[in-house]
């Protein structure tokens, strides 16, 4: 295991009525002017908006609403939020939603406090924000684990790039599984697969020998698989939903990454697919992973073989390591079909004339991936996914 320093700044309030029990005290430490950020308005339909507004009003806060954050947040939307924060002298941001809202607000918190263009500052000048608006998150859609870190995935429509920007860590995250019970089942499945993908992408990094971080990771993967199946069998299974919510958080709270250099090549490829097509993230990952892993197989045999046995329960008796590695890819692809995720870009509705060459050419090549892909090989992967 590589050397590491582990420090975690986010306080997590998990469980039933977590907002009611903990938000008043947390808001007591916040300033007077609060931005309430959310997406398309589902929080108003399911009653979460009213509950949080009651708590904000009781805490004596002046509330400014920042709504309409889209599923793939754009840099233009970030700038809109930053202007709103400056104009209303926002002291604290309360982000309510899933990864899109939560990611968008991380960057708003940084952009609102600098006159520099944050994209230029971080991606060209390789600098970073020095002042940030404090924030809290209320998770209503699980999967991304975005509330657990300070990285955000933002689409710069002008540059045709969907990539990472860095902002604030959340002071706290409220994870009440009941808040996720109104998620459409397609979103539940997509979110759960995104969480599973985070675990696999971390696992497939270096070091590649057995280590404690990976053994914890295997348990998280088994948990997601088991509880997604339970949720599909009974969508109102609160115990299964609770496990999925926490497993998604575990995927991105740093614990699985201790001592690791992560992979995330599938994510980088899907991000650029999203930049060009605005597609569903979890679905894109489901299509890409098995194809990319077949290309990675020669370099990934030991890790794939361990996943086959330790996560997917493949009996190793009489099988070579390579046979086990192939069995892992087969098990993963079968699970994707089982839970109703798409297996091709065509099933996702991605247009046939999509510029896959441009997508491959603009994809970041990650250092932790066991196979050193070329842009040409990534184009071949995308073409196989069609």
- Mind listing the pLDDT tens digit for each residue in 100-152? 999 999 999 999 999 999 999 999 999 999 999 999 999 999 999 999 999 99
% of the chain beyond a pLDDT of 90: 97
Residue 196, judged by CB atoms within 10 A of its CB (0-12, 13-18, 19+), counts as buried
- Mind listing the pLDDT tens digit for each residue in 269-326? 999 999 999 999 999 999 999 999 999 999 999 999 999 999 999 999 999 999 999 9
Residue 161 pLDDT > 90, yes or no? yes
Report all structural domains of the chain as residue ranges with CATH numbers, in order of start: 11-180 (3.40.50.1970), 188-385 (1.20.1090.10)
Mean pLDDT of 170-190: 96
d(CA 22, CA 265): 38
- Mind listing the pLDDT tens digit for each residue in 38-73? 998 899 999 999 999 999 999 999 999 999 999 999
* Max CA pair span of the chain: 68
d(CA 374, CA 269): 12
Residue 1 pLDDT > 80, yes or no? no
| Cα-based distances in Å from 88 to 33, 56, 91, 92, 287 | 7, 16, 9, 11, 43
Contact assessment for residue 153 and residue 163, using Cβ atoms and an 8 Å cutoff: yes
Residues 6+ positions from 264 with CB-CB distance below 8 Å: 201, 202, 205, 366, 368, 369
The predicted structure's pLDDT at residue 7: 80
Phi/psi of residue 74, nearest 5 degrees: -100, 160
Only one residue has tokens 């806060």, namely 61
Total number of residues shown for the chain = 386
d(CA 351, CA 345): 8
Residue 317, judged by CB atoms within 10 A of its CB (0-12, 13-18, 19+), counts as exposed
Contact assessment for residue 151 and residue 122, using Cβ atoms and an 8 Å cutoff: no
SS3 content of the chain, % helix, strand, coil (to 5): 55, 10, 35
Closest CA to 150 of 5, 8, 345: 8
């Amino acid at each position: 295991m590589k050397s590491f320093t582990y420090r975690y700044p986010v306080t997590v309030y998990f469980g039933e009525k977590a907002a009611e029990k903990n938000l008043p005290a947390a808001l007591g430490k916040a300033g007077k002017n609060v931005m309430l950020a959310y997406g398309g308005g589902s929080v108003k339909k399911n009653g979460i908006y009213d509950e949080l507004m009651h708590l904000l009003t009781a805490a004596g806060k002046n509330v400014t609403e920042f709504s309409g954050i889209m599923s793939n947040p754009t840099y233009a939307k970030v700038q809109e939020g930053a202007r709103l924060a400056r104009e209303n002298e926002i002291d604290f941001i309360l982000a309510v939603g899933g990864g899109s809202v939560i990611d968008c607000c991380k960057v708003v918190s940084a952009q609102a406090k600098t006159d520099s263009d944050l994209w230029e500052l971080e991606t060209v000048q390789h600098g970073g924000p020095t002042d940030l608006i404090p924030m809290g998150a209320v998770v209503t859609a699980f999967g991304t684990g975005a509330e657990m870190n300070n990285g955000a995935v933002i689409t710069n429509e002008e540059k045709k790039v969907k990539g990472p920007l860095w902002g604030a860590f959340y002071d706290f995250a409220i994870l009440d599984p009941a808040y996720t019970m109104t998620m459409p089942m397609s979103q539940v499945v997509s979110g759960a697969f995104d969480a599973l993908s985070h675990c696999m992408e971390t696992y497939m990094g270096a070091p590649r020998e057995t280590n404690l971080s990976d053994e914890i990771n295997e348990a998280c993967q088994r948990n997601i698989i088991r509880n997604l199946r339970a949720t599909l069998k009974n969508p109102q299974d609160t115990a299964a939903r609770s496990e999925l919510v926490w497993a998604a958080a575990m995927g991105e709270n740093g614990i699985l990454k201790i001592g690791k250099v992560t992979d995330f090549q599938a994510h980088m490829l899907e991000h650029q697919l999203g930049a060009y097509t605005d597609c569903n993230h979890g679905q894109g990952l489901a299509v890409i992973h098995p194809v990319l892993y077949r290309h990675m197989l020669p370099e990934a045999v030991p890790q794939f073989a361990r996943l086959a046995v330790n996560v997917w329960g493949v009996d190793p008796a009489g099988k070579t390591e390579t046979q086990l590695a192939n069995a892992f890819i087969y098990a993963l692809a079968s699970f994707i079909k089982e839970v109703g995720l798409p297996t091709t870009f065509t099933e996702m509705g991605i247009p046939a004339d999509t510029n896959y060459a441009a997508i491959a050419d603009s994809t970041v090549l990650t250092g932790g991936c066991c196979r050193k892909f070329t842009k040409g090989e990534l184009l071949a992967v995308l073409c196989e996914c069609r």
